[in-house]
Amino acid sequence: MKRYGCIAAVAVWIMVSMSFCRAQSAQGTKSLDWAGDVGQHQRWEFGPVVNGGNGLYDRSSYHFFWAGAQAGKILTPMIHAGPLSGQFEFGAEVFPVWQAYTPAPYSQTVMVNGQPVVQNWGGGNFYGVAVMPVIFRWNFATRSRRFIPWFQAAGGVIYTTHKFPPNLLVPHGTPGGTSVFNFMPQGGVGFHYFLRPKRSLDVGLNAVHISSASLGDKNPGVNSSLQLQVGYTWWK
């Protein structure tokens, strides 16, 4: 009987130990849900971003590079809507480095009232700053512990040291009809990929429209450009 009692005690000890290990394992697995943690606690995010892309269609010779910082805050708990389930986030971006590279200035002879007239067109590199004060982002719910996909709509303003985009040069040598101020509404998709707790690599692809909203006499703009953005985020 004593032997059976010892066997029973050992068996109980084994079962308790296994239960404790399973609990510890579950807790450890739960702790690896880095994507779920930021949503559950509706955390802030901060980090640097770089952005590069190309104009499309008639602006395919335009190239862009921006660098700056972004911030955001998850504002809602999980909203359940089937495959669209997720959380709403509001954010903003600042780009102290905003650059556009366009074809070099050139001259063109055209006929006006039967007379040849030389037109000088602007071009070259443009530098400025940009602010994106409004970013509406929807973070989709997933079962992944590291991956959060999202889509967004955003809007901002650009200031350049010379009127952008390049256009006909007026007598004092600056592009005529355009503006040093332009607006950039955009929309896109992207994802956060968590490399460690509260640290994520962020990748986005945005379609960006650049327009002066007719602040100048003409508004040639950049009707469409495709921009790839890469950033690194600290979640607080």
pLDDT at 93: 98
Residue 36 near residue 65 (C-beta atoms within 8 A):
no
Which regions of the chain are under pLDDT 50? 1-30
24 membership: H or E segment, kind and range: helix 2-31
Task: Give the separation between CA 123 and CA 19, rounded to whole angstroms.
Answer: 71
Residues 6+ apart with CB under 8 A from 190: 149, 150, 151, 152, 202, 203, 204, 205, 229
pLDDT at 31: 54
Biggest distance spanned by C-alpha atoms of the chain: 121
Phi then psi dihedrals of residue 20, to 5 deg: -65, -40
**In a 10 Å sphere around its CB, with 0-12 CB exposed, 13-18 middle and 19+ buried, how is residue 8 labelled?**
exposed
pLDDT at 19: 40
* CA 175 vs CA 65, 179, 225: distances in Å: 21, 8, 21
> What does R_g of the chain's alpha carbons equal in angstroms?
28
Q: What is the pTM of this model?
A: 0.81
